[in-house]
Structure 1
Amino acid sequence: MDRRTLIRLAATSGAAIATGSLTAGRSAQARPGPRSTVASDGSGDFTTIQAAVDAVPAGNTARFTIDIAPGTYRGQVIIPADRPNILLRGRGRRPDQVVITDDRANGTPRPDGGTWGTSGSASVTVDGAGFAARNLTFANSFDEAAHPEITGRQAVAVLTRADRLEFDTVRFLGNQDTLYVNSPAADVPARIYLRRCYVEGDVDFVFGRGTAAFDRCRIHSLDRGSATGNGYVTAPSTSVANPYGLLFSACTFTSDAPPASVHLGRPWHPGQDPNAIGQTVIRDSWLGAHIGAAPWSDFGAWSWREARFAEYHNRGPGALVTPDRPQLTRSEAAGCTVTAFLAGADGWSPDC
């Protein structure tokens, strides 16, 4: 019996999994449950990540770990809805040693005609609930300078549309629209927990209607070469029916861009939806000088003042308190925590 058959049998038998921490930096430990390995040199069970994902049994109910050897893995990866509970785990010493990347943008031509669009540009798309990733890098390597003919430059590294997702010590690299946190429908919450991650980009590089809690992450704005307009960190489109959108708690906002040249966010109304009342809350975080005194911006005809933008107890040269920077009260801040954002009706508390 070959190893792939053994993997499938282990999964379908409902092998138990541990509920221990995914804390980054500790030495690798055996984690009970089905698993497979990916190595581009042929030394693993698979040479591509998509092949390993496709081999996970449909409807898998236990944590299925896919260990990925150091290297760069090119090509789109799709985690379908019928492949839940997958963990992608980089086996390098650092997250930059395992890179999953693709290089298409919104306006990149499709082989069958038309263009990919923003969602279609994603290097990795996650529709499987309970997905997790640890100690690796997701990137979209679309080269804007090399393709001046492509005007639709949104190039997503990761698109999420599922609930109860965990990212631990993961890097997200791109330019415009790096991390797209979406949900199956406007009124359906989809929760994502990001712990000690690194996200970089320039325009709207954290966006969407999902509920995402960034815990002790670094958010890095790239320098677009402008003295005054180097983009926007967030573009939430949270449904008015959802009390929770984007939360940044104990994060660090950095950039090499000039002072006061980056906005914290603007409200995205997809299809001009008036019920997309976006929420971005930044609390207990350090903000660099690239953030100015009026960091929230309108989006077309939609005023930022009608969105749910707020700060609380931030510090650093970019953490000014002005009339253009709404601040949470102490009682409001008590309800805007990582725990509150993620709990939902089922009381979810991520184990990483």
Structure 2
Amino acid sequence: MTHLRSKRLPHKGRTLAAVTALIASFVVGALTPAEAAQPQEAADTAGSAAAPRWTDRPHGFASLDGGTTGGAGGKVVTVTDQAALARYAAAEEPYVIRVAGAIDVAPFGSDIVVTSNKTIIGVGDTGEIVHGELHLGPGTSNVVIRNLTIRDSYVEGDWDGKTTDFDAIQMDSADHVWIDHNRFEHMGDGLLDIRKDSRYITVSHNQFKNHNKALGIGWTTNLLTEITIDHNWFTGTKQRNPSADNCAYAHLYNNYLSAQVADGDPVWTYGNWARGRTRMVIENSYYDGVQHPYQADATAELVQRGSVLKNVTGRQEEWGTAFDPRDFYAYRLDPAAAVPALVTRFSGPQKSLGANTVLNVPGDYATVQAAVDAVPAGNDGTVTIRIAPGTYRAKVLIPANKPNLVLQGTGQDRSDTVIVHDTPAANGGSNGSATVRILASDVTARNLTFSNDFDEAAHEVNGEQALAMKTTGDRIVFEDTAFLGNQDTLMTDSPKLDVISRVYIRDSYIEGDVDFIYGRATTVIERSLIKALSRGSDSNNGYITAASTWKDNPYGFLITRSKVVSDAPAGTYHLGRPWHPGGEPNAVAQVLFRETELPAAIKSSPWTDMSGFSWKDARFAEYRTYGPGSGVTADRPQLDDAAASTHTVAKYLAGTDGWAPHRGRAGH
């Protein structure tokens, strides 16, 4: 925006601590005691009994010696065919490869070679590899394979797998591998073969089903392999559940073995077998109808504790001291009696996995922009960028072709994680000055502070506007966020005048002085604190809003159930003025302050003209505002109850697609 304004007095400096204290003093402002008692949705989710029982980081041995991160730090791609899967899996650079739908591998039983630094993850529970194998050759390191179904390379009549070697996953001399939440079924030889001194392996929450040989480990005389096997379901399998040959350390806990194939074989039908010189620890597992539930060669050591055995026969052997897994890593044991219910429910592919890709800043990526850049164009699944506490002095651009992003601050407070820059509009207009620009649709930001700390008092420039945030995408949500600036702090816009974009802001903080909430997007600000900063004037300290709503859009800005505060003198602030960019006559501002507390700084005639356009031709109104800055006069249009019933949060946001990000909140 371009407009003349008086020079503000020297900036005294705002600290995030001061802002946090101010927000704390707000408490819940305009809310009733009943509304104030409602818990936040984030807290509800965090404490929900339905919260996942796993994380996106490996545990057990795969977490040691530097950990296993897979393709973190690389591009995120989605594949739907064999050629793309094979190309990205074998690439030299890291990739997070999302498998969407079933990929039929040809020729039948062929390998998909997987090289180092890869994550291969099914999208929801749809990702399948059919008639093919994932193969990790010697030297492959740092691989995550999650949430896939790998099935059906079985050759009829080859029950013992003697004529084919079509495993689901086979690795030779690999290290740092996490196999998690997969389903393996009906393959040509073993379901999972971990061979030849592979190290730092974790196999968790998988299903091994309907097959002869489930999970084999070893085939070496060395004693190097360290492996954690937990919360897996072996059902309808005969042997190798697992077979662990010459493992330095094999830790098995909370596994469920059931419905074992019963073909009368007295030796090669079994559960867990510690072979060679393996040191094995079994804890709190559940064996139901299993022949030889656990056994050990005379040269091996096996410790078992806490397991449940039901309808079992044959060998149950323990000797030696093996090792203490807690000397290597921490872990949580579930009660053995709970294992069948837990494992059948939470093993195998999950709808909640893969659909939400998690990128960490720092960690996976050094900067927020690097994480955004890793998201594929046309992204069709939620990507959450988790931003650790700290101050990130850099601009961020989310392009229009990268939708479905979540920016999530991970600190205890939104002031812990700050994205800030100091560019004024004199150096590139609103686009150039904005610290963060969101051009994409379906973007959410939570628990973050966005700031433009350009110091007006220290610079003589023509164009002091300095945006903290500019959006043009549709269906943008800000929750528990802060926007810090002076002139033009927050611009919610759309790609062009007659295109409607929607923005929902709740439980947030916005501060500024001149037109600091502006633009043409339909914007709802709910349950938030707005601070109108003083410019040191005793007559005009600024304007809270400058809407430029398209004339055919009935909904512009709704500020509801919020609180406005100010350090400006009484009667020196405007609620808003109508912005007609470039003199555009079809930009007819619509602003409603509803059920919001107003401070004494608000003028008794709170709306004013702009650039030759009368405020009386705009669509400005109040409804049930209160506080020392409220009032009913000829210069303060008021909605009646009937009109107010059509100006609700739901009406503003619904559009043609029924968007309702506020759903579940009281008072709608």
Scaled by the length of structure 2, the TM-score of the pair is 0.48
Change in CA separation of 1:290 and 1:163 when aligned onto 2, cut-off 3 Å? same
Offset, 1:3: 2.5
Q: 1:317 and 1:341 mapped to 2: Cα distance?
A: 28
2:598 matched to which residue of 1? 287
Offset, 1:4: 3.6
Q: Deviations over 1:26-74 (max 9, x none)?
A: xxxxx742011002xxxx1111100000001211112110000000111
Task: Specify which of 395, 399, 414 is matched with residue 95 of structure 1.
Answer: 414
Q: Secondary structure at the match of 1:347?
A: coil
1:184 matched to which residue of 2? 495
Offset, 1:320: 1.0
Q: Does 1:338 align with 2:338?
A: no
| 8 Å CA contact 1:10, 1:34 repeated in 2 | no
Q: 1:144 and 1:6 mapped to 2: Cα distance?
A: 39
Q: 1:123 and 1:36 mapped to 2: Cα distance?
A: 21
Unaligned 5+ runs, structure 1: 18-30, 109-115
1:15 matched to which residue of 2? 123
Q: Does 1:3 align with 2:72?
A: yes
Larger Rg: 2
2:558 matched to which residue of 1? 247
1:21 matched to which residue of 2? none
1:78 matched to which residue of 2? 397
Matches within 5 A, 1:211-290: 211-290=522-601
Offset, 1:287: 0.5
Change in CA separation of 1:274 and 1:36 when aligned onto 2, cut-off 3 Å? same
Q: Secondary structure at the match of 1:232?
A: strand
Q: Secondary structure at the match of 1:145?
A: helix
Unaligned 5+ runs, structure 2: 1-69, 78-95, 101-121, 126-351, 664-668
1:22 matched to which residue of 2? none
The answer to which structure has the higher strand fraction is 2
Offset, 1:118: 2.1
Point out which structure has higher relative CO (alpha carbons under 8 A, 6+ apart).
Answer: 1
| 8 Å CA contact 1:297, 1:303 repeated in 2 | yes
Q: Deviations over 1:220-257 (max 9, x none)?
A: 10111111111000000001011110000101011111
| Comparing 342-351 and 124-133, the one that deviates more | 342-351
Q: 1:12 and 1:209 mapped to 2: Cα distance?
A: 39
Q: Secondary structure at the match of 2:651?
A: helix
Change in CA separation of 1:76 and 1:254 when aligned onto 2, cut-off 3 Å? same
Offset, 1:351: 5.8
Q: Secondary structure at the match of 1:339?
A: helix
Offset, 1:346: 0.5
Residue identity in the other structure for 2:530 = I
| 8 Å CA contact 2:76, 2:376 repeated in 1 | no
Q: Does 1:146 align with 2:462?
A: no
1:59 matched to which residue of 2? 378
Residue identity in the other structure for 1:83 = K
Change in CA separation of 1:307 and 1:5 when aligned onto 2, cut-off 3 Å? same
Offset, 1:292: 1.8
Q: Deviations over 1:262-284 (max 9, x none)?
A: 10000000110111110110001
Q: Secondary structure at the match of 1:3?
A: coil
Q: Secondary structure at the match of 1:200?
A: strand
Matches within 5 A, 1:161-200: 161-200=472-511
Q: Does 1:46 align with 2:46?
A: no
Task: Specify which of 425, 444, 455 is matched with residue 132 of structure 1.
Answer: 444
Moved over 6 A (4+): none
Residue identity in the other structure for 1:197 = S
2:8 matched to which residue of 1? none
2:426 matched to which residue of 1? 107
1:113 matched to which residue of 2? none
Task: Kindly tell me the number of residue pairs found equivalent between the two proteins.
Answer: 327
| 8 Å CA contact 2:577, 2:607 repeated in 1 | yes
Q: 2:380 and 2:566 mapped to 1: Cα distance?
A: 41
Q: Secondary structure at the match of 1:107?
A: helix
When the two chains are superposed, the root-mean-square deviation of aligned CA atoms in Å is 1.6
